[in-house]
Amino acid sequence: MPGTLIRQAGVVGAGGAGFPTHVKAAASAEIVIANGAECEPLLYKDKELQKRFADLVVSGLELMMTATGAKSGVVGVKEKYHEVMAAYVKALSGKPHLRLLGLGNYYPAGDEYSLVYEATGRLIPQGGIPIQIGAVVDNAETLINVALASKQSVTHTYLTVAGAVKRPVTLKLPVGTPIAEAIRLAGGATVPEFGVLDGGAMMGRPADPAEPLTKTSGGLIILPESHGLWRKKTASQRSIDLIGKSTCDQCSLCTEFCPRYLLGYAIQPHKVMRSLSFSGPDRKVWDEWSLLCCECSLCNLFACPEELDPRDVCVASKRALAEKSVNWRSATLNTGAAPKVHPVREFRKIPLESLMRRIGLWNYRAEAPLDDRVHRVGRVRIPLKQHLGVPAQAVVSPGVKVKAGDLIGEIPEGKLGARVHASIDGTVRSVDTHVVIEA
């Protein structure tokens, strides 16, 4: 069964939070959607993979359809990527149960809610997930790993290294490789003092170059520490709150451009900004407008004319509500109403070029071709938690010799999680929250 092989191989969502793919494979669905949109500025990993391995993406898609009982499949990819589109036309030939969906070059075309709507014409319920309307969504790299699950475990990750580097490139590296090594393979940074955004310019987070790559690593953006985007990403919550409280004029542009609001969901960042002026029960009223935020960052990096941070305020509000055990199901805002698409949604899609200019990345635009050579790494530090759910339980101890693909972390019985495997041949040196292996 595909689901068993997927579980054994440790496949997780490679394009997001790392949801264990075998759990999706165990669901019953009507349609499986391959997400090849890749809308983060400067990242080309999925484009490069689909150009080279469209047949594997399609094989993975069909395996997920078999596992879930889905009768149809869709591949969503940007129309402007002509080589990718051509590769899929060939890979989908003679497969009437599968179709190709061309997407515009806007952000966030790859948002799960948006893609499901574009592919099916249906809206996921407020606070819900795709399976509630019979859909399963996996990104391109995930489906490649699904296609290969019968032959190999997930031991490597593909990622783009871009921005202030000498040679923007898409690499294949062992899980657990230090971020610094990926930067070195891209020729190194072009500036002496730089910051690293792990995951992209919009939804990525500041990362230490010593941190290890994981199964979900898809892109690193290197920026000078003086860059405005880096300064925004590293601002303290205290300064975000103080400046927001004193400066927000409630223009509501953060809401008007919010992609989830435009799909009809009960998310209004400008109302969340009001929470900064309240405390206690009064604050909760405004905090609840944050619950359906997808954290895409359009509000604070594009829409806000004051360059405030509604996204970060939404994240803090969601965290505060979670501490009080408040979620969408228990929210007073949840009336059970179905979402209804805003009539001007099509006209408020943000072109990627406009976004790149707005956030100061236009001068860094460059292709990042795939270099899929085997890069040997002498030491890896593999996290036992690279996925949603609980950490894997180590099944190795210091001194044990392992080969790439050997199991080093097992899913705890009855828990949500994913298996973890050695990514290089070598000797286990230490085991705690990570497994360190030296060649």
Copy the structure tokens of residue 287. Answer: 């905090």
Contact criterion met (CB below 8 Å) for 112 and 263: no
Say how far apart CA 181 and CA 397 lie, in whole Å: 26
Contact criterion met (CB below 8 Å) for 417 and 11: no
Contact criterion met (CB below 8 Å) for 124 and 113: yes
Say how far apart CA 85 and CA 88 lie, in whole Å: 5
DSSP 391: P
* pLDDT for residue 129: 96
Say how far apart CA 165 and CA 158 lie, in whole Å: 17
Copy the structure tokens of residue 359. Answer: 């956030």
Residue-wise DSSP of 36-105: E---STT--HHHHHHHHHHHHHHHHHHHHHHHHT-SEEEEEEETT-HHHHHHHHHHTTT-TTEEEEEE-S
* pLDDT for residue 343: 97
pLDDT in tens, 320-362: 999 999 999 999 999 999 999 999 999 999 999 999 999 999 9
* pLDDT for residue 372: 85
pTM above 0.75, yes or no: yes
Say how far apart CA 189 and CA 182 lie, in whole Å: 11
* pLDDT for residue 159: 98
pLDDT in tens, 387-421: 999 999 999 999 999 999 999 999 999 999 999 99
Helices (H) and strands (E) in the chain, counts: 16, 19
Regions of the chain with pLDDT less than 70:
none
- The identity of residue 437, as a single letter, is I
